Chains A and B, each alone.
Chain A
Amino acid sequence: MSETPLLSVRGLTKYYGARLGCADISFDLHEGEVLAIVGESGSGKSTLLSCLSTELVPSAGEVHYRMRDGMARDLFGLGEAERRLLMRTDWGFVRQNAADGLRMGVSAGGNVGERVMAIGARHYGKIRATASDWLEKVEIETGRIDDTPRGFSGGMRQRLQIARNLATNPRLVLMDEPTSGLDVSVQARLLDLIRQLVRELGLAAIIVTHDLAVARILSHRIMVMRRGRAVESGLTDQVLDDPSDAYTQLLVSSVLAA
């Protein structure tokens, strides 16, 4: 149980000028682990996710990632091309708004196929077969493979975004409020799908959510953030059933039967 973590975050801090985004965040993540980052809007959870995805450069701290060759590398020490390749192939990023994570003018099959090509696939028939396979996995009729996501419902778009992100067999997936803004029934279906895929593929995942029920269903561990800081972290059921921090107690007690 002592092998090198897949992702290791130490003292991650981000200031926007004088304003604090997040401060002194540290955690390790191993393959197969799902970490939920919970907190209300403005708690810094999205800033943290942006730093992890290297979209923002942190003001201080380090993020090490164990590459496929087994070497742990500092994400911010990677060259631009290397970093972008990593993000597109070994990582996935499922965004809250599917339109931000999809190419809306490109067909469903193209959205998935594009990622498969990024890892070297060149044979059209194989790329299309992989895309079709993934559409099936996320429960999109393969007959829709040539349609653009513009005509898709919110739930379908989100499922397509998941297919696009998982098609390269990434080892780490970041998710930003993947189920919010969807109808409850659509949300349940998506949660079930994410849960199943994460388990089957043994992915490591970091899920930002304000919804404790989502965290309960999907995650092994939770980090509770408030005003940019991690106020409590631990096993998901332990933090939700036996919260020790005053703010976590408030969050948990504010939810109807999480």
Chain B
Amino acid sequence: MSMNALVRLDHVSKAFTLHLRGGVHLDVVSDVSFSVAPGECVVLGGPSGAGKSSLLKIIYGNYRCDSGHIWINDGAGQVDLARAEPRRIIDLRRTTLAYVSQFLRVIPRIGAQEIVAEAGRESGMDAAVAQARAGELLEMLNVPSRLWHLPPATFSGGEQQRVNIARGLIADRRVLLLDEPTASLDARNRAIVVELIEAKKRAGCAVIGVFHDEDVRDAVATTVLDVTQYAAIAA
């Protein structure tokens, strides 16, 4: 395990307790430990339901971590996201962690380019730089410029997904969490996303991803982790 890891999971476990279903206990993952160094891309593998997406959500702080530690290197030091207070997690998301899912959460009235640029500004980018960079990314991802000023609510699934990728990749974050970002893209656009991910790796980012497409997975993975090994011991 390298000492300069940007992400290090240390015996992470997570379960859901469904109070409305008589307190049913659903184990998600159990005793997960791995680390990701700059330039590495760990791809989470395994059948659907194995907990791949949930694990990404745990690392982003979207799902709580019941036990264990999630060490994130934010450039100034190691932060245990599993124990961090909300504003520390918000700060990590602003500076260090990017999460790209396959779905864009549409905000009424805000145009595609503005959605992307806003994510840039939030990370401290100058407004004009963010605007220009947003345009570059949308162009690269083949989102037609006539759509840029329109709210993406009416866009196709693939177009929304590409706006979402641009939004997730605009800022310089050291840790990228990618949850099937290419799920409804054609081969041409998948290849572009692969290129963008490779560029992030070369820039020293740590990437953890779930990819449905084998071609994408094979192109970007430095390691494939089978998540079924983290199935709860009790099962």
Contacts and interface: CB of A to CB of B under 8 A. Distances in A.
B29 to A, nearest CB: 13
A241 interface: yes
Contact of A250 (B20, B57, B89, B90): B20
B25 interface: no
Interface residues on chain A, size class: 20 to 34
Contact of A192 (B19, B88, B107, B122): B107
Given A188-B108, A189-B109, A221-B86, A235 B19 contact: no
A1 interface: yes
Nearest to A192: B109
Give the secondary structure class of A's interface: helix
Given A242-B62, A244-B64, A220 B108 contact: no
A191 interface: yes
A253 interface: yes
Interface string A215-258: 00100110000000000001101100110111001100100000
A235 B109 contact: no
Interface in B16-66: 16-20, 57, 61-64
A177 interface: no
A101 B19 CA distance: 41
B80 to A, nearest CB: 14
A241 B179 CA distance: 16
A176 interface: no
A189 B109 CA distance: 7
A242 B110 CA distance: 27
A249 B86 CA distance: 20
Contacts of A164: none
B87 interface: yes
A183 B40 CA distance: 49
B23 to A, nearest CB: 9
B226 interface: no
Contacts of A189: 108-109
B110 A192 contact: yes
Contacts of B16: 242
Contacts of A238: 61-64, 86
B63 A242 contact: yes
Of A220, A245, A253, which is in contact with the most chain B CB atoms at under 10 Å from its CB? Answer: A220
B66 to A, nearest CB: 10
A33 interface: yes
A245 B64 CA distance: 13
Interface in A13-30: 30
Contacts of B61: 235, 238
A234 B89 CA distance: 11
